[in-house]
Amino acid sequence: MHTVAVLSLKGGVGKTTVALGIASAAMRRGIRALVADLDPQGNATASLDPPFTDATLADVLETPDRDVLARAIAPSVWSEDVEVLVGAEELEALNEPGPDEHRLMSLSRALDELQDAPPHGKPYDLVILDCPPSLGRLTKSALVAADSALLVTEPTMYAVAGAQRALEAIEQIRDEHNQDLRAAGVLVNRLRPRSHEHQFRIAELRESFGALVMPTAIPDRLAIQQAQGACSPIHEWHSPGAQEIALTFNMVLAKILRSNRAGRHRIDRDETAAETTGPIEPIRTDARR
């Protein structure tokens, strides 16, 4: 079981979109996945539309045992092999900073339970943690529980500074709580390929973070919103724009699973540059809406 945390410093940059895109790619590859919705807004839960559960992730974090987990997990409308650990507004109260260290470990403990004895029988290959939009306690507990962390950013003016801060947070959690944590990469979302400003920001990100920046960005496409609105995995949304994005998520999933094996995408920049798997491909500029 590999656990990836999808995070960013800000809201609205596409964490949930990316978490769902990875789940969709996993489904297409026959990889059994669980999406844990750590955001009190519950957008991932809304898009995956599981049947009502009488417990949520908030209960799991209070009591990380198998019974509560089993009550808080349900299959998505997508497939029986994509399940949801459902989010809830009550998570907001658990996001505040506090001295209570053991709270940081409760998600990690819950995931250990999942690995040892998956509540609905079949084990998960992949757990995707959809984080809330801050580096608060919930995101930290995701980093404590994760094997890898995927940073999502838009190609805007503050992207480098934001990614830097998030990578520092990853490094801190790695030093203090989770020495196996890897940065799977920085994924740029909502790229407008014809925008010079966006191309400039991507170049800036590459200059700062080298091979950590994913070779392909997710373009800004209406198909993403349409598929989410229809509670459909992007891989099953039949428009040329959706298919192109689906292929990008296949690549993102492959990279996440690779970071598990080799552990070579470390967050130390020099090391990353030295350990890159190949040349960084230019962003495609021929994409059409």
Ligand X SMILES: Nc1ncnc2c1ncn2[C@@H]1O[C@H](COP(=O)(O)OP(=O)(O)O)[C@@H](O)[C@H]1O
Contact code string over 159-188 relative to ligand X, x by CB under 6 A: ------------------------------
CB 57 within 8 A of CB 88: yes
Positions in 130-149 near ligand X (CB under 6 A): 133
Q: Is 37 or 59 the residue whose CB approaches ligand X more closely?
A: 37
Range 51-59, long-range pairs (CB < 8 A, 24+ positions): 51/75, 53/86, 56/86, 56/87, 56/88, 56/90, 56/91, 57/85, 57/86, 57/87, 57/88, 57/91, 58/88, 58/90, 58/91, 58/93, 58/94
**CA atoms of 46 and 25, how far apart (whole Å):** 19
Which secondary-structure segment (H or E) carries 170?
A: helix 159-176
Q: How far is the CB of 37 from Mg ion (least distance, A)?
A: 8
Q: How far is the CB of 51 from ligand X (least distance, A)?
A: 22
Q: For the chain, how many helices (H) and strands (E)? A: 11, 8
Q: Is 68 or 86 the residue whose CB approaches ligand X more closely?
A: 86
Q: Is 190 or 265 the residue whose CB approaches ligand X more closely?
A: 190
**CA atoms of 253 and 285, how far apart (whole Å):** 22
* 15 binding Mg ion? (CB under 5 A): yes
**CA atoms of 159 and 162, how far apart (whole Å):** 5
Q: Out of Mg ion, ligand X, none, which partner does residue 174 contact, by CB within 5 to 8 A per kind?
A: none
Let me know how long the chain is.
289
Q: Which of 3, 16, 47, 189 binds Mg ion (CB under 5 A)?
A: 16
> Sign (positive/negative) of CA torsion 253, 255, 256, 258?
positive
Size of the site for Mg ion (CB under 5 A): 4
Size of the site for ligand X (CB under 6 A): 18
3-class DSSP state of 87:
coil
DSSP 198-214: HHHHHHHHHHHHGGGB-
**CA atoms of 73 and 212, how far apart (whole Å):** 33
Q: Is 8 or 259 the residue whose CB approaches ligand X more closely?
A: 8
* 43 binding Mg ion? (CB under 5 A): yes
Q: What is the dihedral of CA 239, 255, 190, 183, to 10 degrees?
A: 160
Q: How far is the CB of 261 from ligand X (least distance, A)?
A: 28
Q: Whose CB is nearest to Mg ion?
A: 16
Contact code string over 7-36 relative to ligand X, x by CB under 6 A: -x--xxxxxxx-------------------
Q: Out of Mg ion, ligand X, none, which partner does residue 17 contact, by CB within 5 to 8 A per kind?
A: ligand X
Q: Is 8 or 260 the residue whose CB approaches ligand X more closely?
A: 8
Q: How far is the CB of 144 from ligand X (least distance, A)?
A: 20
Q: Please report, as ranges, the residues that interact with ligand X according to CB under 6 A.
A: 8, 11-17, 43, 133, 189-190, 218, 220-221, 224-225, 228
Note the residues at the interface with Mg ion (CB under 5 A): 15-16, 39, 43
